[in-house]
A and B are shown apart, each in its own frame.
Chain A
Amino acid sequence: MESKGVSWLVKTQYIYISSQYGVNKAVTDIWSFFCLSILESLVMVDWKALRGAIVGCLSLLRRKSHVGVVTDNKVKAVAQSYLQNLQVQSLGQHDRKLCFQLMECILDRYPAAVRDLGDNLMYGICEAIDGEKDPQCLMLSFRIVEILSGLFPDPSGPLADFAEDLFEILGCYFPIHFTHPNDEDVDVKRDELSRALMLAFASTPLFAPFAIPLLLEKLSSSLPSAKVESFKYLSYCTSKYGADKMAKHFGTLWSSVKDATYVSPQSSLSTEAGFTSGMGFQDSDIMKQAFVLLQELVQQSNGSFISLILDDEDIKMFISSLNQYEDFDNIPIDIKQRLHAVGRIMSVCANTTIASCNKVFESFFPLLMNYLGLSVAKPSKDSYPAEDYYPPGRLNFGALYLCVELLTACRYLVGFDELTSIHDFSNQTWCVMLHNFSKSLATVFISLLGSNVAENSQNAYVCYGVKGLQNLATFPGSLLAVSKSTYDSILLKLMSVITSDINKTFAWTSAMNSLVEIGSFLDNCPDSERSSSFGSIVVEKIFSLISSDDLTMPLSLKLQAAFEIGATGKNFMLRVVQGLDEAISPNLSAVYAHGNLKSVELTVKLLECYSNKVLPWFHENGGSEEIPLNFALNIWDKIENSRSFNLGSLENELLDATMTAMKQAVGNCSEESQETIINKALGVLLSSNCFRWMESISGNTPLKAEGLQQIHKLDSFAIRDEWITSLIASVVIALRPQTYIPNGKLILQFFITTLLNGHVHVPSAQALGSLVNKLPLKITGTPLSKNFSLDEAVDMIFHSCIWTSCERGSSEIDLSSLRLCSLSTESVKIHAVIGLAWIGKGLIMRGHEKVKDITMTLLSCMISDGNTGSLPNLQHPSNVCNDEDMHHQLMKSAADAFHIIMSDSESCLNRRYHASIRPLYKQRFFNTMMPILSSLMLKSDSPSIRSMLCRAIVHVVSDTPLTAILSEAKKLIPLLLDCLSMMVKDILNKEIIYSVLLIISGILVDKNGQEAVAENAHSIVNQLIELTTYPHMMVIRETAVQCLVAMSELPHTRIYPLRTQVLQAMLKALDDPKWVVRQEAVRCRQAWASIASRSLHF
């Protein structure tokens, strides 16, 4: 009875909390009730009531202060009863967890209430957590110890007496190790638990006498994870306990760190850096943690630990033995590992504090300089080696390596921003020493780059030479680590590597990277003197490189260098862009005037660099839009100024590159700049031939026969006109929806006419699509006469002279009438169909209803029979065959129009070019089109029409998202299978067959699709079996076999009858000429053979 009552009370408790009246009164009442019930339930051993009571206490204790807090007295009472009566370890897992939560809550929120419980509390807690094994409860108990230590920080307080007992309980959990690592029930991760234990270990210095010996002992464990954990705990404890607690263990600590890193290093050569520099070692986890500990010790110890390291005999010996290994190639791998370890130890010591850095420099730097052949005795002017300094024999690699590591460490110590270097470094010992040697060091590093050997071993020298130079050059100017002349000579050397050592890939890339580092450092902390050096030496050199015709350095490298250097700062980039502009302009002129083939190649590369790198960079880095604007205007200027084009028609590549760059540039501009560009373009257009040509055609509406006949004269369309049309199309494609288009009707009319031109129909069609996609629905504000709305545009397109019949004034586009009243070839109609497809795409993306008319036109075009009403055939009987072929082409392009409508295009109507895209437009189109297409499929019986319908269906389905397809899978599968059986006959259809297969495999793999598949299992399997022998494309065979494997997962009753059939087919597939197919066939055979029995008798 009572347990039920308590549970009921727990539930109603929340109602009390929310009610505002008599809160405190209610709390007190319930509180005493729970306290009592805990005590009573313990007496009565009523476990159910205990759980309810604890939950109730917990929720009371956790209440926010504004609804009433339980007083400390009451909390104390409950804590006392808890400690006296509760045998936590004898409870079940969930109850233990609740008990720990209660204790944590009491300690955490009511410290005052329990503080004077003293020894009782300690004893109770020790008893409660002793022997705990459940990870969740352990998390809580570690947390309890942590809070408890925070509660009694006094070294002579109650905790001091119990520290040993508490630690004995905690210590046996270290290192945390799960015996069942992959148990799914364990929702506490090993790392979390280990972290909680670490916090508990480090919670009070009182644990130090017990914790450190334990951790040191575990360091000698053979388990690598135990070592890693010990180092981790030690470094965290060091930071918490403070140096004085650790001091007496310094010797042991150092020897264990040395053991892990120097004596038996476990670093491995990393694969990427390894083969280039030979010193790219990857530290093992143990080493990483050991270095963290080392850093922590150096940081805390205030100088006593560092002297331990510097006086270490082994390290001293190693450094003095460096002379034995002068040549890099002769250094054995274990010595390299040690060298790496010593380098790391030194750099950790040097980059931790200024004082430690000084000490390291004092003890090692003169020695290293000595090895490098630089005199220590007189660090004055005499000691500078001559300009043509060349090291005696081979340079001591070990010394070089350590020296560069030290430099890097100092660089790290100084920090990477101007702001952090407020300390006065310049008077520190290390800084003075470094300053004295900087010039000679720079000379040594430079000489390393200058050597002419391009061996692999040389790479190690080059790598550290470049690294050293980079470090010298990136010390903040206030430290004056290097003088201006040294700085200049560093930059000159690196630049000379860039310009001359093109064949040494490694040297080139590392020089490039370090120049980029130096440049971006300048960008972070500006220094006028150095910026000007960098500008004059590096950027100007690059600038002259791009614009020069010097071909010793390949253009792609030049452009790479230019872009990487430019990307370090906006000013540099502006200069680089100027260089690019200057390079493009004469090249373009050369191309237009003379058709110079070499210039074409160069210009294409320059333009690609522009559109792929420079323009996106400015877009990302919020650059001014002047760059794209000027670029676009410059190109239009060029075209305007060159009246006659002397181009062969082969330069399509150049035109494509120019169009891409133009689109990219216009797309990045704001509305105003876009208006400027379109105005400019319009000006060029109006003064060109193609405009006059257009007027001659479209001037006479309604269409007369002569008008259309003129379309045949399209061949007279000059190359310059082609360029102008394509470029203006690219401008229109990339416009923003809000941009006002002057003379919009004219442009629209222009594109409608150029649509039928064989050379430029695709860009024109795309431009038309973009126009209808972006035009505003209604005009607001602007004068009506100027801009025009979508409806007007659509009307214009639909009534345009090209496809409107001269007899009927219907609003539907009627391609057949176009054919009737013209003598035009079918090829013109193909262009018209492609145009319609793009217009349809533009409309469907914004969800306009007129798209229905367009799809109807396309459909009627697809199902029209080529033999009726084609008058021209009668007149030219000799052309019948050819004409039928053309008609087939037309039907095919109408079917392919669905691909254009459904697929995403890279070149227009995407987000980059500001298209308006309605969500789910593909699904909507799919849902409206599929019923129409499938009913047409049922009605028609002419094979050619059916195959076209199949094409269209496959295009629509393959571009629809899979989820939409799955819901229709039942209806689709028979249709798709029909398509497959139809397509198999023609070799040209292989791509389409492949996409159908991909759709089917998508349905097969999905859970929801499998039901639909199961219904049609028989026919699917038959079709797939047929495809396993498809001779024209290997992937089709492979995918078909894979689909069959997936089919074997279906319910037995469905597939069992098909078993022998599949196995027979697999016997053939096992003899396939391609290895991949055979391999899949083995899998498939195994899968199907094993559905019934495991016997081999199939």
Chain B
Amino acid sequence: MNLFEVAHFVREKPMKLYILTVLHHIRDIKDPEHPYSLEELKVITEDAIEVDDNNSHVRVTFTPTVEHCSMATVIGLCLRVKLIRCLPPRYKVDIRVAPGTHATEAAVNKQLNDKERVAAALENPNLVDMVDECLAPSYA
């Protein structure tokens, strides 16, 4: 994006900048099963992020690679952890699976947005290790 386009965005769509910021935070998260980033695998895209700065609300809609992807919850957890770490606490983060892309869509969505279940998951040292590995900066 060149400078002109940035200026254009600032005038026309201020929301675009917020979206790019959020995307920047999560694009480098690695897939738990592959050495590729979520952006490379098209699990997350620019269109999948919605930001409402006035109401401090972020929604990320991700697309698992296959319908039976067992890692969907872990990916969701990674996204949530990364955003908690990077965004100011005033934001409410909402994470969900894109409609129709996963077999147990409703269950996954419920699990990811249940505060207590997320907290419980993060008490589990194995799970935390896995999440940290995905979030570790890649020096490529």
A217 interface residue (CB < 8 Å to B): no
Q: Which residues of B contact A192 (CB under 8 A)?
A: none
A196 interface residue (CB < 8 Å to B): no
| Complex Cα spacing A1094 to B90, Å | 22
Q: A1070-B86, A1085-B85, A1095-B122 are in contact. Are A1075 and B128 (CB under 8 A)?
A: no
| Complex Cα spacing A548 to B87, Å | 64
B81 interface residue (CB < 8 Å to A): yes
Instruction: Scan A308-352; emit 1 where CB is below 8 A from any B CB, else 0.
Output: 000000000000000000000000000000000000000000000
| Complex Cα spacing A5 to B3, Å | 81
Q: Report the nearest B residue to A1089, measured CB to CB.
A: B85
Q: Report the nearest A residue to B89, measured CB to CB.
A: A1067
| Complex Cα spacing A1094 to B81, Å | 12
A557 interface residue (CB < 8 Å to B): no
B48 interface residue (CB < 8 Å to A): no
User: Helix, strand, loop or mixed for chain B's interface?
Assistant: helix
A1094 and B87 contact, CB distance less than 8 A: no
B84 interface residue (CB < 8 Å to A): yes
CB distance from B105 to the nearest CB of A (A): 26
Q: Which residues of B contact A1086 (CB under 8 A)?
A: 85
A119 interface residue (CB < 8 Å to B): no
A1094 and B88 contact, CB distance less than 8 A: no
Q: Which residues of A contact B90 (CB under 8 A)?
A: 1071
Q: Report the nearest B residue to A1090, measured CB to CB.
A: B132
Q: Which residues of B contact A1071 (CB under 8 A)?
A: 88, 90
Identify which of A1075, A1078, A1095, A1096 gathers the most chain B CB atoms within 10 Å of its CB.
Answer: A1096
Q: A1075-B21, A1094-B128, A1094-B132 are in contact. Are A1067 and B85 (CB under 8 A)?
A: no
Q: Report the nearest B residue to A1069, measured CB to CB.
A: B88
Within 8 A of B (CB), among A1055-1075: 1067-1068, 1070-1071, 1075
CB distance from A200 to the nearest CB of B (A): 40
CB distance from B39 to the nearest CB of A (A): 18
CB distance from B95 to the nearest CB of A (A): 15
A-B pair number, CB within 8 angstroms: 27
Q: Report the nearest B residue to A1072, measured CB to CB.
A: B88
| Complex Cα spacing A366 to B86, Å | 71
Contact size range, A: 10 to 19
| Complex Cα spacing A666 to B126, Å | 75
Taking a contact as CB atoms closer than 8 A, the residue among B25, B81, B88, B128 that contacts A1067 in the complex is: B88
Within 8 A of A (CB), among B80-139: 81, 84-90, 122-123, 128, 132
A1082 interface residue (CB < 8 Å to B): yes
Q: Which residues of A contact B81 (CB under 8 A)?
A: 1096
CB distance from A1095 to the nearest CB of B (A): 6
A1082 and B88 contact, CB distance less than 8 A: no
CB distance from B94 to the nearest CB of A (A): 18
| Complex Cα spacing A1086 to B82, Å | 10
| Complex Cα spacing A1082 to B81, Å | 12
Q: Which residues of B contact A1068 (CB under 8 A)?
A: 88
A1096 and B122 contact, CB distance less than 8 A: yes
B86 and A1082 contact, CB distance less than 8 A: yes
| Complex Cα spacing A1089 to B81, Å | 13
Identify which of A1067, A1068, A1070, A1097 gathers the most chain B CB atoms within 10 Å of its CB.
Answer: A1070
Identify which of B25, B87, B88, B132 gathers the most chain A CB atoms within 10 Å of its CB.
Answer: B88
| Complex Cα spacing A34 to B28, Å | 67
| Complex Cα spacing A1087 to B30, Å | 20
Q: Report the nearest A residue to B119, measured CB to CB.
A: A1097
B132 and A1070 contact, CB distance less than 8 A: no
Q: Report the nearest A residue to B128, measured CB to CB.
A: A1094
Q: Report the nearest A residue to B86, measured CB to CB.
A: A1082
CB distance from A1072 to the nearest CB of B (A): 9
Q: A1071-B90, A1075-B21 are in contact. Are A1095 and B128 (CB under 8 A)?
A: yes
Q: Which residues of A contact B122 (CB under 8 A)?
A: 1095-1097
Q: Which residues of A contact B123 (CB under 8 A)?
A: 1095
| Complex Cα spacing A1075 to B17, Å | 11
| Complex Cα spacing A1082 to B128, Å | 19
Q: Which residues of B contact A1082 (CB under 8 A)?
A: 25, 85-86
Q: Report the nearest B residue to A1095, measured CB to CB.
A: B122
- Contacts from B to A (Cβ < 8 Å): 21, 25, 81, 84-90, 122-123, 128, 132
- Contacts from A to B (Cβ < 8 Å): 1067-1068, 1070-1071, 1075, 1078, 1082, 1085-1086, 1089, 1094-1097
Q: Which 8 A-B pairs have the closest CB atoms?
A: A1071-B88, A1070-B88, A1082-B86, A1067-B89, A1096-B122, A1094-B128, A1094-B132, A1096-B84
A1067-B89, A1086-B85 given; name 17 further pairs at CB < 8 Å: A1067-B88, A1068-B88, A1070-B86, A1070-B89, A1071-B88, A1078-B21, A1082-B85, A1085-B85, A1089-B85, A1094-B132, A1095-B122, A1095-B123, A1095-B128, A1096-B84, A1096-B85, A1096-B122, A1097-B122
17 A-B residue contacts at CB 8 Å?
A1067-B88, A1067-B89, A1068-B88, A1070-B86, A1070-B87, A1070-B88, A1071-B88, A1071-B90, A1075-B21, A1082-B25, A1086-B85, A1089-B85, A1094-B132, A1095-B122, A1095-B123, A1096-B85, A1096-B122
